[in-house]
Structure 1
Amino acid sequence: MTRSAMWRARPKATLAVLGSQALLGAALLAFGTTASAVNYPITPEWRATAEQVAQAGVPLSELAPNAPDSYVVKRGDTLWAISGMFLLRPWRWPELWGMNYDQIRNPHLIYPGQILYLERLGDRARLRVGQPVGNGTIKLSPRVRSEALDDGAITSIPVHLIEPFLNEAVIFNTNELEPAPRIVATQEGRVLLSRGETAYVRGELGDLRDWRLFRNPKPLKDPATNEVLGYEATYLGTAEYVRPGGTGPKGEIVPASFRIVSNRLEVGVGDRLAPVPPREFINYVPHAPQNPIEGQIASIYGEGLTAGQNQIVALNKGAQDGIERGHVLALWRKGREAVDTTYGGREKILLPDERHGLLFVFRVFDRMSYALILNVQEPVQIGDRFTQP
C-alpha cells in the first residue's frame, strides 16, 4: 500500500486523537520536505489535512501556567519572548498561530500596538490578532498582515544580538577567498589601514561597489568525521570601490582604488574582499525541525574555547541536512563517567546525557549553520551535541 493510500485509509476518528506534534509533522510533510527528506506526492487529501492542522492550534496543556488572555505588543518585544509568555515550549509558536508550512517559511508579521488574543476552544487554544479601531472596539483577524520588516515589525529574537553577524559571520563552501580580490598596496605604504584610508586592490571586481574585508580563512571540520565542511574567515570591515584599475603608460598594472568604510580590525596587504550580500530580514518564525536531527557544535565564533548565553556557534549541519532559519534546537551535556560504590565494589558507569540549553538558528549554509545560544546551564564546547527540542 502506498503512503498516500495508507493516509486515506486512516479512520477520521484517529485524526482527532493524534498528538498535535504529529499533526504538525503531517502538515509540514504535506506542504513540502527538506532536501534531505523523501519527497512524496502531495495529494488533495494530504493538502486538506494540512489545512485542517493549520487551524487546530495547540492543546491547552501546552499553554504556560500564566498565559494571558490578551497582550498588547510593545516596541522591543520579540516573537521568542511573546511565545514564551503563552507557551511552555516556545518553538510551538507556529501551531499556536495555526500556520501551515508555507507561512512558516514566509511568515506574517506582528507590530507594536497590535493586541494578541488567546482563544480557548474546547481542549485547544489559538492566537488571534486585533487592532484598536476607536470607541474601545477591537477589530479581530485570524492573521497578522504581511509587509516589509522596515516598517517596525517585531523580530524573532533581539536583533542587536545577531545583526552584526549577518554580514560578519560567513561560511564559504570552498576556499573561495584564495582567488578573491586582494589588497596589494596601501596608502603611503602604511602597514595597516583604518577608516577613510585608501587600499589598492587587484582581482575580478565586476561593477560592485560595496565589499567586505576578510583575513585568514580557516577550515571548519566536522567533529565527528574530521571532514572539512566549509571555511570561516576573520571579518575585518567594509570597503567602497572608488576608482577602477587599468594599465600604465609602459604597460604597468594599475590596481583599483578602495576606501575603507568601516573596520572591526585594521586592514593590510594580503587581506581579501568579498561582496556585501543583500540585507537579510530577521523575521524567522521560531519552530522545531519537522524531522529528527542530531549534530555537533563545530566551532565557537570568535576563537573562544567555550561559549555562553547570547554567543554564536557554528553547527555541523546545514540546508542539505534540513536545517532552516528559525529552527530551535536542544543542547546536550555529555554524560560523565562515574564509579558505583554502593555495593562495596567500584564498577564504572556512564551517566546519561542531560539537556542544558537551547539554540536558535539564524544563518544557514549548505553544510553548516550559525546559531545563537538562547540559554544554557554550562559552557558550550566544540563537539557538544544538539538535537530537535
Structure 2
Amino acid sequence: MIRKSIGLLAGMLVTVAVYAAGAQLRADHPDTYTVRKGDTLWGISARFLSKPWLWPEIWQANPQVQNPHLIYPGDVLNLSFINGPRLGLQPRVRTEGEPVPAIPLSQLRTFLKELTVMDSGAVNDLPYVVGLEEARLRGAVGQNIYVRNLNASPGQRFAIVRPSHVFRGFNEDDRSDDSDKNGIVGHLIDSDVSMVHAPWSENFRNDGHYGRGRDLGVEVAVIGTAEVLRTGDPTTLLLLDSTQEIRKGDRILPIDDKPYDAYYYPHAPKAIAPNARVIAFADALDAVGPNQVVALSIGAKDGVENGQTFSVWQPGETIADDVAGNSWNRGTSPHVTLPEEFIGHVMVFRTFDRVSYGLVMDGIRPVKMGDRLTMPE
C-alpha cells in the first residue's frame, strides 16, 4: 500500500519568498536526494538549508505535517522549481525500518542513559550502601547489599550510582561561599568511595579564567542495578548487574525508564545567560569538532531545554600592536584584543539544573574550553 511519509522536509511546501529571511535553500542544492541509512535530520537539512537549525520553524508553519521525524531511508526528497524552489517528499511503499533521527543518538548512549547531574546536597541525601554480604569490602553480581534510608517494596528495582565528576562555573566571580582559597569547590559526597572515571576533560588555569567558579553540580554514573528482597533499615537488595564492584557509600536512585527524549527539535532559545560557556569536553583534551560532546555552564534553571541550538564564539587573541609601538622593543608596544570568531553550532540534548550536555553539530574551527555561547543568529 502506498503511504505518504510525513518527514522533516515534507512540510516545506513554501516558496523562498515566504521564508527568505529565515531558512533559505542553499544555492548548490541537488534536484533530489535519497535518504540513506546513517543520515540525521540535521545532516539532511544542512545539505539544503543555509541555516539547518531553522528547519523546525518551517515545519511549525505547516500544520499538515504531523511529525517531522517520520522520514525513512529510501525516501526521496524532491526539489523542484515551480514558482520558486519547493521541497517535497516522494511517496513510496513503506518497508520496515527505523526513521532517521535528528541527531546520532547511538553515539550518545553513555551521556543519555548512564550519567546524570545532581546538586551536591541532593546526592548526599540519597539512600546509600552501608554494608555488603558477609561483610565483604566489595559487592559482586548475585550478592546481597544493604542500603540505609530506602523506602521501597519487595521486587522494586533501583540504580546504583557513584560520583564521576564535579562541574564548576566559568568565572572566578562565580565562586560560592564554600569555595576553598583556590576557588575550587570540592564535592560534598559523605562517603569513602572514590569517583568513577569520567569522560570529561577540563583545563583548570591558575588565573581564574575558567574551571574555578561555583559548583554547578555533581555528575553521577550508573554502575549497577539491584532488586529489593526485604524491607527495613537497612533494606536488603540483590545485586543484579554491575559494571564495577559495589562499595560502601555508593548511592541508590530510582531507575529512570525514559532518561532522554526520543526526538529532538533544534530551535533557537528565547534568551541566553550572559556568561554561557563551554566548560568541559568528553573524551578530548584540547578541542572538539562536529559530533563530539561538550558540557555547557547553563541548564534548566537558566531556561535551557533540549533541542536549543547555540552559536559558539571563540575569544580573540590579545596581541602586541608593534605598528603603534616599538617593533624593536615589544615590551613597550600597546596591546589590542582581536575580535572573537564564530566557530560553529552546538545543540543541547540533555539538560540538568545548572549544566547541559551539548553535541557540536557543525564547525569551521575546533571548539575550545571557555568558548562563548550566543543566540544562533
Q: TM-score, normalised by structure 1?
A: 0.68
Displacement of 1:305 after TM fit?
Answer: 5.6
Q: Does the CA contact (< 8 Å) of 1:314 and 1:369 recur in 2? A: yes
Displacement of 1:214 after TM fit?
Answer: 2.2
The runs of 5 or more residues in structure 2 that have no matched partner are 1-13, 177-213, 327-332
Q: CA RMSD in A?
A: 3.6
**For residues 138 and 36 of structure 2, what CA distance do their matches in structure 1 show?**
45
Q: Does the CA contact (< 8 Å) of 2:23 and 2:51 recur in 1? A: no
Taking a change above 3 Å as real, the CA distance of residues 371 and 68 of structure 1, as seen in their structure-2 partners, is: same
1:386 aligns with 2:377: no
What amino acid does structure 2 have at the position aligned with 1:328?
T
Alignment size in residue pairs: 313
Taking a change above 3 Å as real, the CA distance of residues 226 and 271 of structure 1, as seen in their structure-2 partners, is: same
Taking a change above 3 Å as real, the CA distance of residues 196 and 129 of structure 1, as seen in their structure-2 partners, is: farther
What amino acid does structure 2 have at the position aligned with 1:131?
P
Partner residue of 2:44?
82
Query: 1:1-389, aligned counterparts within 5 Å?
Result: 56-58=18-20, 62-95=24-57, 97-100=58-61, 107-120=68-81, 122=83, 125-133=85-93, 152-173=98-119, 175-207=121-153, 209-216=156-163, 220-224=167-171, 225-227=174-176, 228=214, 230-246=216-232, 253-263=233-243, 265-279=244-258, 280-291=260-271, 294-297=274-277, 299-300=279-280, 306-309=286-289, 310-345=291-326, 346-376=333-363, 377-378=365-366, 380-381=368-369, 383-389=370-376
**For residues 194 and 308 of structure 1, what CA distance do their matches in structure 2 show?**
37
**For residues 88 and 273 of structure 2, what CA distance do their matches in structure 1 show?**
31
**For residues 64 and 175 of structure 2, what CA distance do their matches in structure 1 show?**
37
Taking a change above 3 Å as real, the CA distance of residues 82 and 305 of structure 1, as seen in their structure-2 partners, is: same
Displacement of 1:58 after TM fit?
Answer: 4.7
Q: Does the CA contact (< 8 Å) of 1:242 and 1:259 recur in 2? A: no
Deviations 1:48-81 (A, max 9, x none): xxxx99x944569932343122222222211111
SS of aligned partner of 2:60: coil
Taking a change above 3 Å as real, the CA distance of residues 324 and 254 of structure 1, as seen in their structure-2 partners, is: closer
SS of aligned partner of 2:220: strand
Displacement of 1:176 after TM fit?
Answer: 1.2
Deviations 1:315-336 (A, max 9, x none): 2222343322122212221111
Taking a change above 3 Å as real, the CA distance of residues 162 and 74 of structure 1, as seen in their structure-2 partners, is: same
The structure showing larger relative contact order (alpha-carbon pairs under 8 Å, at least 6 residues apart) is 2
The runs of 5 or more residues in structure 1 that have no matched partner are 1-51, 135-149, 247-252
Q: TM-score, normalised by structure 2?
A: 0.70
Displacement of 1:350 after TM fit?
Answer: 0.7
Taking a change above 3 Å as real, the CA distance of residues 92 and 254 of structure 1, as seen in their structure-2 partners, is: closer
SS of aligned partner of 1:201: strand
Displacement of 1:366 after TM fit?
Answer: 3.6
Taking a change above 3 Å as real, the CA distance of residues 358 and 365 of structure 1, as seen in their structure-2 partners, is: same
Q: Does the CA contact (< 8 Å) of 2:147 and 2:234 recur in 1? A: no
